[in-house]
Amino acid sequence: MEPSPPLSRQIAQLEKNLGLTLCERSQQHIRLTSDDRVFLLEARALLRHADRLENLGRRLGRGEEGGLCIGYVTDAMHTGVLPTALRALREERPGIHVALYDQESAEQFGGLRRRSLDIELVRTPSPEDDPDLKAVPLLQETLLLALPADHLLAGQVELMPDSLNGQPWIAVSDSQAPARRDTFVASCVASGFTPDIRLGAADPLIALGLAASGLSLAFVRRNMVRGTNDDIVVCELPWYTGSAHLRAAWHRGDLRPMVAPFRETVLAERAAI
C-alpha cells in the first residue's frame, strides 16, 4: 500500500537526512528494507524509553520514589526468583512503580545499553569484554526428562543415551531466541543421542503439557514438576550434560536510586537457592 503524499515526503526527507534508503518503492507497493527494519526497532525502543522518562518525571513530580524497569525471561518466573524479589521490594517500598518486560536475553542487553532497562534476569552471560554491563550467575539447574506415562521408556529403571536416540522431542525455543534450540540439540549430541525435534514450545510449561498429552519427550526444570499428574513421568539422567541457567545483569552505572537495593535483593536470593 502506497503511503499518503505528505507521509511519502516525510520519509523521503528522513532518507535524505540519514543518507539511507529505508523503503523499496514500486508503482503499487512500498516495502521496508533490511536497514529500515533495524532503524524501526531502535526508533520504537527510543519511543518506549521516552514514555518511561515522561512517566518517571510525573511520578517524581508527585513526590513518589521513582521506579524500576526490569527485563526478564520466563525462567525467572518459573524458578520464583523474580516473584520473591518483587515481593520483598513491595514490602520495603510499597509506593514504587515497577515496569516488567518479558524479553529474550539479546533484546534485554540492548535495553541495558540504551538505559531503557535497569536490571535484567537472563539466560546468557553478557560479553566478557563489555565495559558497560555486568552479569553474575544466580542459579544453574539440572534438567529432568519428562515423558508420557504410557511411553515405552516410562517403565525402564535406567535410561541410557541409546534409548533416546531418534525419539520425538519438544524443543523449548521461540523466534526471538533461535540459538536456544541449537544449544539444546548440541547438549543432546554431546550427551550421546540425537533428538528428533517434532514440536517447538515457547515456554517450558507448554512443553510439559505437550509431553503429558503423549506427543513427545521434553526436558524441564525440577521446580516445574511439582504437582504433575499421572499422565507424566519424570526421571533424572545423570549422564545428561545440559542445564538451565539464570543470571542477573545490569549497567555498571545506575540511573535510578532503587536499582542498587533491588539488585542486592536479587543477589541475596542466590545464597538461598
Classify residue 151 by its DSSP letter: S
The count of structural domains within the chain is: 3
**Domain extent for 197:** 144-241
Classify residue 252 by its DSSP letter: S
Please state the pTM of the whole predicted model.
0.68
**Which pLDDT tens digit goes with each residue over 179-201?**
778 888 899 999 999 999 988 88
pLDDT < 70 stretches in the chain: 1-5, 7-8, 22, 24-32, 35-36, 49, 52-53, 55-66, 174-178, 226-228, 270-273
What pLDDT does 173 receive? 74
What pLDDT does 223 receive? 75
Does the residue 1 lie in any domain?
Answer: no
Report the SS3 class of residue 118: coil
What pLDDT does 108 receive? 79
- Give the strand pairing for 243-251 and 119-122: antiparallel
Report CA 160 to chain centroid distance, whole Å.
31
- Give the strand pairing for 67-72 and 97-102: parallel
Residues 158 and 235 in one domain: yes
What pLDDT does 66 receive? 61
What pLDDT does 5 receive? 65
Output the furthest CA–CA distance in the chain (Å, rounded): 71
Residues 171 and 237 in one domain: yes
Does the residue 92 lie in any domain?
Answer: yes
Does the residue 70 lie in any domain?
Answer: yes
Express the helix, strand and coil content of the chain in percent, nearest 5 each: 40, 25, 35
